[in-house]
């Protein structure tokens, strides 16, 4: 990345109204279009790309007027870094279903499907079957900076899903470079986790070391000699307290559980916002949560305590 870009970054169409809290103000300025064309080579550059990616409203990559050109929009639901649309029919197999999400990826490798360049963006289209007409297709687009998005869709028998996906990609790439901020799409639901950096807690902890490449909703680092994982997600409310005990962190109720893979590993989970509006998420209700995994309770509580400083009182 060029020095000017790093210096600058350090300092859907619908009549419906957005629901839920207003999305948070971006923590860094929206980057210029050419930002996504510069490879990220250092930890700081990768962190900047990750944060710029988190601030993109992924639902805005396929606004409703674009979806309407395929078929009537029956419904749109959201995830923390994803969006899902059902078009034409609610009956499974009769309509078109699209899911798309933002991510961070290394360079794409050759393999099944079609691998091509769209400008300086790597694109890979993979049908669900090698023989016969496909019913589903996955498309991955990766910018030189390492930011990427995935689009998966299934279509009725008379349509080729890879042709539909390929036709949508140019518009999605152009919108990505415009970096639409969280809240651009009327379907996006504002929560405290939108655009939030799970690695931000490292600024409040002394002596942390990155142990894994940047991820959008998860941060892995070493602290006090232990491997730490901080995860941001939308979770089924009933799962929050499942197989857990409650602990008080000031005015917050935190749930302590253990890993299903290793009962010696403690996990601390807390809801950091209200349940998302009914119907805004697929397959039931969701609540924004933060989860910390450590090797010991002492360190896990330490990290969770600092995370709650970031989010403030309930």
pLDDT tens, per residue, the chain with 314 residues: 333 343 334 333 333 444 455 666 667 788 999 999 999 999 899 999 999 999 999 999 999 999 999 999 999 999 999 999 999 998 877 899 999 999 999 999 888 899 999 999 999 999 998 888 899 999 999 999 999 999 999 999 889 999 999 999 999 999 999 999 999 999 999 999 999 999 999 999 999 999 988 899 999 999 999 999 999 999 999 998 888 999 999 999 999 999 888 889 999 999 999 999 999 998 889 999 999 999 999 999 999 999 999 998 87
Do 151 and 100 touch, CB atoms closer than 8 A?
yes
Q: How many domains does the chain have?
A: 2
Confidence (pLDDT) at 19: 47
Residue 191 lies in a domain: no
Do 76 and 59 touch, CB atoms closer than 8 A?
yes
Residues 160 and 279 in one domain: no
Do 151 and 168 touch, CB atoms closer than 8 A?
yes
Instruction: Indicate the residue among 145, 178, 211 that finishes a domain.
Output: 178
Instruction: Indicate the residue among 178, 211, 231 that finishes a domain.
Output: 178
Confidence (pLDDT) at 272: 95
Confidence (pLDDT) at 26: 67
Nearest to 12 by CA among 181, 131, 252, 159: 181
Residues 145 and 229 in one domain: no
Residues 82 and 154 in one domain: yes
Domain of residue 76 covers 3-178
Nearest to 307 by CA among 239, 237, 225, 232: 232
Residues 43 and 140 in one domain: yes
Confidence (pLDDT) at 7: 36
Confidence (pLDDT) at 12: 33
Residue 260 lies in a domain: yes
Q: State the Cα–Cα distance between residues 77 and 80, nearest whole angstrom.
A: 11
Confidence (pLDDT) at 17: 41
Residues 119 and 251 in one domain: no
pTM for the predicted model, two decimal places: 0.88
Residues 163 and 204 in one domain: no
Residue 63 lies in a domain: yes
Residues 28 and 144 in one domain: yes
User: What's the burial of 305, exposed, middle or buried (CB within 10 Å: 0-12/13-18/19+)?
Assistant: middle
Residue 86 lies in a domain: yes
């Amino acid at each position: 990345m060029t020095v000017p870009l790093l210096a600058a970054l350090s300092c859907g169409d619908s009549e419906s109204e957005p629901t839920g809290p207003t999305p948070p103000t971006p923590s860094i300025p929206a980057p210029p279009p050419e930002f996504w064309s510069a490879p990220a080579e250092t930890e700081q550059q990768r962190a900047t790309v990750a944060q710029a990616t988190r601030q993109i409203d992924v639902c805005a990559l396929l606004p409703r007027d674009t979806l309407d050109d395929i078929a009537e929009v029956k419904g749109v639901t959201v995830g923390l870094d994803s969006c899902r649309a059902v078009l034409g029919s609610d009956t499974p197999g009769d309509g078109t279903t699209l899911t798309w999400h933002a991510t961070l990826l290394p360079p794409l490798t050759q393999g099944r499907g079609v691998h091509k360049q769209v400008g300086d963006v790597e694109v890979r289209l993979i049908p669900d079957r090698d023989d016969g007409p496909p019913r589903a297709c996955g498309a991955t687009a990766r910018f030189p900076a390492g930011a990427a998005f995935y689009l998966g869709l299934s279509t009725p028998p008379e349509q080729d899903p890879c042709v539909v996906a390929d036709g949508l990609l140019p518009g999605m790439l152009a919108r990505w470079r415009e970096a639409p901020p969280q809240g651009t799409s009327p379907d996006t639901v504002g929560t405290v986790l939108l655009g939030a950096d799970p690695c931000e807690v490292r600024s409040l902890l002394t002596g942390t070391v990155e142990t894994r490449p940047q991820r959008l909703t998860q941060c892995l680092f070493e602290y006090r000699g232990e491997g730490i994982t901080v995860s941001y997600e939308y979770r089924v409310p009933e799962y929050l307290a499942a197989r857990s005990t409650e602990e008080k962190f000031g005015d917050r109720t935190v749930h302590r559980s253990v890993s299903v893979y290793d009962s010696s590993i403690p996990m601390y989970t807390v809801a950091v916002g209200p349940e998302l509006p009914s119907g805004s998420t697929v397959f039931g209700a969701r609540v924004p949560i933060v989860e910390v995994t450590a090797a010991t309770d002492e360190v896990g509580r330490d990290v969770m305590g600092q995370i709650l400083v970031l989010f403030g009182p309930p």
